[in-house]
Amino acid sequence: MDHTRRLLEIMARLRDPQTGCLWDLKQDFRSLLPYTLEEAFEVADAIERGDTDDLRDELGDLLFQVVFQSRVAEEQGLFDFEQVAQGIADKLTRRHPHVFGDVVFDDEAAFKRAWEQAKLDERHAKAGKAAASVLDGIGAALPALVRAEKLQRRAARFGFDWPEAEPVFAKVHEELDELREAHAEGDQAHIEEEVGDLLFVVVNLARHLGVSPEAALRAANAKFSRRFQHIEQCLAEQGKALEGTPLEELDALWDQAKARERS
């Protein structure tokens, strides 16, 4: 059975004005956005946990969001799912001339340059002008950490980058000093600006060290949750409440959790 066609038919029934689901009928591009982002992050979570059964389910949920958005667009006469699929198929064919054509690249670096040039040409064509920025196409709605990395990677491909990690370490220290100065001044707007600068350069350092800042922070979040839950469990076993427990005791339990993980 063609399950893609079945999925499209299910979506059409859910949006049927007479017999469809009231909740599905109320949705539009904007209202669906949070669900689309949530499903993308749940795909990432399944991958990080190595749960392939869950990954299959989450990919299905993400695909449903694509089908849903496409159906809304079809109802407005904009485009349909077939055109979405056609667009990505054409794009992949166009960007891989060494696979679907007779172009030969000398090495991976040459392929990457051609890939970026193809993307730039597409952005120029879409913008209708030759002066489009090389940063065009990096979604403003992306999570800030992800967008920072993408902006830096895009600029780096055109030569705007430090050649190695060492000067980035120095830049981190420089931004931290500027944040201390802003804190001493007590100007909250300036503090916020400097915090942003510090986060941006830390993303740059992660990139130079070959680390995904998003993945690293997700791992740090998970680690914090594990250790904090250890504190909660220990206190519960002692009949104590988290609130009101001295910080020194909490720190000792935190160190205990760290020691357990390392062992």
**What are 90-108's pLDDT values in tens digits?**
999 988 888 898 888 888 8
113-155 pLDDT, tens digit per residue, is: 887 777 777 777 776 655 567 788 788 878 889 899 999 998 9
pLDDT number for residue 120: 74
Model confidence pTM above 0.85: no
Query: What percent of the chain has a predicted confidence (pLDDT) above 90?
Result: 68
- CATH superfamily to which 3-95 belongs: MazG-like (1.10.287.1080)
What DSSP string describes the chain? --HHHHHHHHHHHHT-TTTS-HHHHH--HHHHHHHHHHHHHHHHHHHHHT-HHHHHHHHHHHHHHHHHHHHHHHHTTS--HHHHHHHHHHHHHHH-HHHHSS---SSHHHHHHHHHHHHHHHHHHHHTSTT--TTTTS-TTS-HHHHHHHHHHHHHTTT-S-SSSHHHHHHHHHHHHHHHHHHHHT-HHHHHHHHHHHHHHHHHHHHHTT--HHHHHHHHHHHHHHHHHHHHHHHHHTT--STT--HHHHHHHHHHHHHHHH-
Q: pLDDT confidence of 9, banded at 50, 70, 90? A: very high
pLDDT of 197 above 80: yes
Average pLDDT over residues 170-188: 96
pLDDT number for residue 132: 66
201-250 pLDDT, tens digit per residue, is: 999 999 999 999 988 998 899 899 999 999 999 999 999 899 999 999 99
pLDDT of 171 above 90: yes
pLDDT of 55 above 60: yes
